[in-house]
Structure formats: structure tokens, C-alpha cells
Amino acid sequence: MEVPQAGDSPGDGVHIGFEPAVWVAPFIAEKNSRIFREHPDWFVRDDAGEPLRSDRVGFGGWRNGPWYVLDGTHPAVAGHLETLFRTMHREWGCTYFKLDANYWGAIHGGRHHDPDATRIEAYRRGMQAILRGAENSFILGCNHPIWPSLGLIHGGRCSDDIGTDWRRIRKTAIESFNRGWQHGRLWLNDPDTVMLAGKQPENERLCRAAAVIATGGLVLSGDDLSALPDDRLAILRKLLPPSGVPARFQDATFSVGTIERPGGRSLVLFNWSGEAVERTVRLPSRCRVTDFWTGEDLGIREGALSLPLPPRSSRLLVCSPASERP
């Protein structure tokens, strides 16, 4: 599977307006589900030949567990997955699928319909059936096993779920930065949604937005756009289109990063602490520096650039040739 570039459409032709997307966990089922009741033989089995309870070998699931796992080596399962996703794509018009709980598709400790298949082969066969049904749709992996997913997904979640509290904003940003090497090589990284609604302070909101830019990956909004005030909609518009280029950070503190693009260079500075700090970055050449969000002209600079950062904040700066006007 070819990794698409930011801005590519997953389908053929021109798409206008809204298209449905589906969040689905294709490999798991609850004990009381219809598919489990009617087809218990479709599931990965334990040593006694019964459907394997996932909590016996690992995490049982985050709700209504324990979960049971469809066996990707079973021909009927492959047919079911292919038909299911073809129906959602062709009849429902879905062009984007977020596949969650993919880890369970490669569950260890079980027995498969094909006794010679490994758990990785079981996962990949199930995913290949999904791809046949989804056809030209965009496939996002979430909670997916990394190396077994090569060639099977277009995008990959690179962090935990985002939240509006500062601990979660910081945690998910650092997780995404640690996986920046995957973006554009294995798939497009998905740092989760921007989250511009809510009552969090403006400095924390902009820090989250800057972190999304610094991943270089997908830009997704989880907000009700019709209810967002104009100033927050303006932030979202500034994030589009995605740069496609992850920041390269000076060190593992992820405090100072550089985003190199054909059209120029951007600098991203973070203060993850609860105290005011000063961040210093060295400019490679004489350039004009402007604030990305406000367009404020910080003047022509060269050498070392030092800026104060309040607690829990960021700065996103654009460096352009010194001859250019802001």
C-alpha cells in the first residue's frame, strides 16, 4: 500500500460536501453480541477449544469485556469482514474508516482455524479482507500493532486520546513527537483531534494546536464547528492544510523544534512546566521572524534568538528571508 501524502483524496474524482466516516473495532465482539452467539466457531480459541477470553492472556477491553477475537484465518470471517466493509463503503458512502482495538486482532495465546498461521498472519489476513471491502477508502489504524500493520493502513494514531486537561495535552504531544519518525515513512501520523472548544486557558489551547502542527500529521477537529467562536475557527484555519513535515527537536525534552519545508522554516518552542522560562534557538542565517498565530513582526534577527515563555505555553515562529515583508 502506498502511503498517501497530506491533502491527497482517498477516492477517485472530486468530492464536494460531507462524506461519512465510521469508527469501528472490526476484530472484537462482546459475549452478548449477535455475532458471538451465532458464530462462536469464528473466534480465536483457547486450549480447551472454547472462544478465548482476552482477559485470560492480556487486557480484556475497556468496556463490556472480556472481549473475544475474530479469527482472521477463518474463511467465513474473511468473507464477513469483506462484505461488512464493502456495504459501508458502497451502500453507506463511507470513505474513511477508523479501525480501533486492532491489537486484539493479533492476540497471543490462542489457537486459529489455520493451525499453521501465526497470530500476525491472522491479523494481516483479517486486515486484507477489510481492505478488499473498503476499496479506495482511507484506513486509519488505532491501537494497532506497529510492524504487523505495515502496508495495511494509510494513517496511524500516534498517541493516547486527547483531553482538555493539561496533563493529557502534554502527554499526547510527547507521545506523538516520539513517533515523528513514522510519519510519511510508514503512514500518516494522527495525533488525535485539535480540541479548540471548552474552557481551557488560551495558552494551553494554543499549545495543543502548536503540538498538532509539530507532528506534521493529520489535522482532525472533534468540535462542533457551528458553535466555535470566530477566533477559534481562525486557529483551525491556520492549521490547514497540514504541513506534512514533523518538527525535528533539539533533544528529548521536546522544547525547541524546527520544521523545514521547501517554502521556509518554522520554529516551535514549548514550555511544558508550571514556571516561566526562556527558550533560545540559533538561527542558521539572517531572517525575518513573525508570529505564526498573530502575524506580529518580531524583526530581522540573526544568531541566537531568545524568547520568554509563560507557564504551559508555546511559540510558533515563521522565519523568512530578511528582504521579505511580514
* Mean per-residue pLDDT of the chain: 92
Listed range (7-11, 171-175, 313-317) with the worst mean pLDDT: 7-11
Q: 10 versus 228: which is more confidently predicted? A: 228
Q: Cis link prior to 66 (omega < 30° from 0)?
A: yes
247-275 pLDDT, tens digit each: 999 999 999 999 998 778 999 999 999 99
Q: 57 versus 18: which is more confidently predicted? A: 57
Q: Tell me which architecture the domain covering 21-157 has in CATH.
A: Alpha-Beta Barrel (3.20)
Reported confidence tier of residue 17, pLDDT bands at 50, 70, 90: confident
What pLDDT score was predicted for residue 326? 63
Return d(Cα 167, Cα 149) in angstroms, integer: 29
Contact 186, 158 (CB under 8 A): no
What pLDDT score was predicted for residue 11? 44
> Domain locations in the chain?
21-157, 248-321
Select the CATH number that applies to the domain covering 248-321 from these four: 1.10.3210.10, 2.60.40.1180, 3.30.9.60, 3.40.50.720. 2.60.40.1180
Cα torsion through 213, 218, 219, 223, rounded to 10:
-130
Instruction: Give percent of the chain above pLDDT 90.
Output: 87
Q: Is 21-157's fold the same as 248-321's?
A: no
Return d(Cα 277, Cα 307) in angstroms, integer: 9
Give the residue-averaged pLDDT of 72-90.
98
Model-level pTM? Answer: 0.89
